[in-house]
Amino acid sequence: MGMTMSQKILAKHAGLDSVREGQLIRAKLDMVLGNDITSPVAINEFNKAGFSGVFDKDKISLVMDHFTPNKDIKAATQCKQCRDFAGKYDITNYYDVGDMGIEHALLPEKGLIGPGELCIGADSHTCTYGALGAFSTGVGSTDMAAGMATGEAWFKVPAAIKFNLTGTLGKYVTGKDVILHIIGMIGVDGALYKSMEFTGEGLKSLSIDDRLCIANMAIEAGAKNGIFEVDDITLEYVKGRVNRPFEYFKADDDAVYAQVIDIDLSQVKQTVAFPHLPENTKTVDEITEDVKIDQAVIGSCTNGRISDMRIAAEILKDKHIAKGVRCIVIPGTQSVYMQCIKEGLAEIFVNAGCVFSTPTCGPCLGGHMGILAAGERAISTTNRNFVGRMGHVDSEVYLASPAVAAASAIAGKITGIK
């Protein structure tokens, strides 16, 4: 019986010739990731278990991104605990204020994850790195602690859904629209504990940034991971970034899938997820009522990359956001931040009346830098719109692409862009 991409990666890292759906395996890890929220819990468990060292100081990444720059004393204390741990064990990939970024934008940019590799992270959106042909998935902080100490983790081998992509994306239609379209189609539990595997001629239409966004939100369909077949676009991106040998895998022709779904990218439209689930989607031309907004957020681990900044700036250039609307623009990394300055995008954002922020996850999880009050409504390029996600339980979050978010900020209500 043939294997899927994910199954091949898991088999290799478990030292097995093959694995099958539902099998429990112990596999060697290429990267263990934590942030300023999840790492302190992992560090406490690491110490409680009596571990005296890490398995490889080069294969652990600690990124201070959620509540940084520190929003309060508790946040400062959490970051200090991570900082002290990184210093004690000489962790190579420790990123703090000034050189950090939003973790799932930073690690691909730094070449810390490569094709065919196996990564766990104490953050649910660790599935982002499947865009590069890696198997990456979110785990709890206890698993992170064990991973840091042993370099291994237990996995139940997932079944897979194959997404066969054809066609080409239309203008101002992006990877965000694709994944919202898919989640709207299959639901938030439509891929429960499965691998979402993307292949087909349509891959040529998807940039790495599109793929990173799609893989990032695989968890919003309940998936264990999302993964893209490695092609020339992938290899061009990792060239000069991933400075170590890697092996990538293609699914066998006789691989078994729980389901095969065909997606014609040319038929995907600008899409918005209404409260309070990512599956509650409508295309912009299906929105008949005026959905007025108080805030727009452009950024996050989903849409904080330079292509996202460019498309938002293109729409905002020589325009101004609507009266009564707050627009917060957050580049995903320091590199993206600098590129925005060099290209004049930062000036466009400020002239349009936006706030241009240092990289942070802040508003996405209702942490800081854009909390909503009761009755307020935001359109956001983030990945979740659960009740109370961005602040008060009586606020609302609508998920969209940077193009739709920027156009909506100008209009003062949710709108598409031609």
78-117 burial by CB neighbour count: b if 16+ within 10 A, else e? bbebbbebbeebebebbbbeeebbbbbbbbbbbbbbbbbb
3-state SS string for 251-280: CCCCECCCEEEEEEHHHCCCEEECCCCCCC
Quote the tokens at residue 267: 């038929």
Distance CA 414, CA 400 (A): 9
Q: Which pLDDT score is estimated for 203? A: 96
Question: Distances from the Cα of 87 to the Cαs of 55, 67, 81, 94, 300, in angstroms?
Answer: 15, 20, 10, 9, 28
Query: Is residue 314 within a helix (H) or strand (E), and if so which, with residue range?
Result: helix 306-316
CA angle 143, 134, 153 (to 5 degrees): 20
Asked whether 120 and 113 are in contact (CB, 8 A), the reply is no
Quote the tokens at residue 364: 């996405």
DSSP string, 226-241: EEE---HHHHHHHTTT
User: Does domain 5-265 bear CATH number 3.30.499.10?
Assistant: yes
CATH no. for 271-411: 3.30.499.10
DSSP secondary structure letter of residue 50: T
CA angle 130, 132, 134 (to 5 degrees): 50
Phi, psi of 73 (to 5 degrees): -65, -40
Task: Quickly count: other Cβ atoms within 10 Å of residue 243's Cβ.
Answer: 8
29-52 burial by CB neighbour count: b if 16+ within 10 A, else e? bbbbbbbbbbbbbbbebbeeeebe
Tokens 């239409």 belong to which residue?
A: 205
Distance CA 178, CA 187 (A): 14
The pTM score is 0.95
Q: How far is CA 99 from the centre of its chain?
A: 19
Question: Distances from the Cα of 408 to the Cαs of 55, 350, 379, in angstroms?
Answer: 48, 17, 8
- Mapped onto helix, strand or coil, the DSSP state of residue 339 is helix
Q: Which pLDDT score is estimated for 361? A: 87
Asked whether 103 and 136 are in contact (CB, 8 A), the reply is no
CATH 3.30.499.10 spans which residues of the chain?
Answer: 5-265, 271-411
Q: Which pLDDT score is estimated for 28? A: 98
Residue from 236, 192, 252 nearest 3 by CA = 252
Quote the tokens at residue 87: 């210093």
- Mapped onto helix, strand or coil, the DSSP state of residue 135 is strand
Amino acid at 344: G
Amino acid at 127: C
Q: How far is CA 397 from the centre of its chain?
A: 17
- Mapped onto helix, strand or coil, the DSSP state of residue 295 is strand
DSSP string, 34-81: EETTTHHHHHHHHHHTT--S-S-TTSEEEE--SSTTT-SHHHHHHHHH
Q: Which pLDDT score is estimated for 239? A: 95
Residue from 163, 143, 101 nearest 300 by CA = 101
Asked whether 228 and 163 are in contact (CB, 8 A), the reply is no
Distance CA 319, CA 321 (A): 7
Q: pLDDT below 70 — which residues of the chain?
A: none
- Dihedral in degrees, nearest 10, Cα atoms 168, 173, 174, 179: -90
Asked whether 104 and 216 are in contact (CB, 8 A), the reply is yes
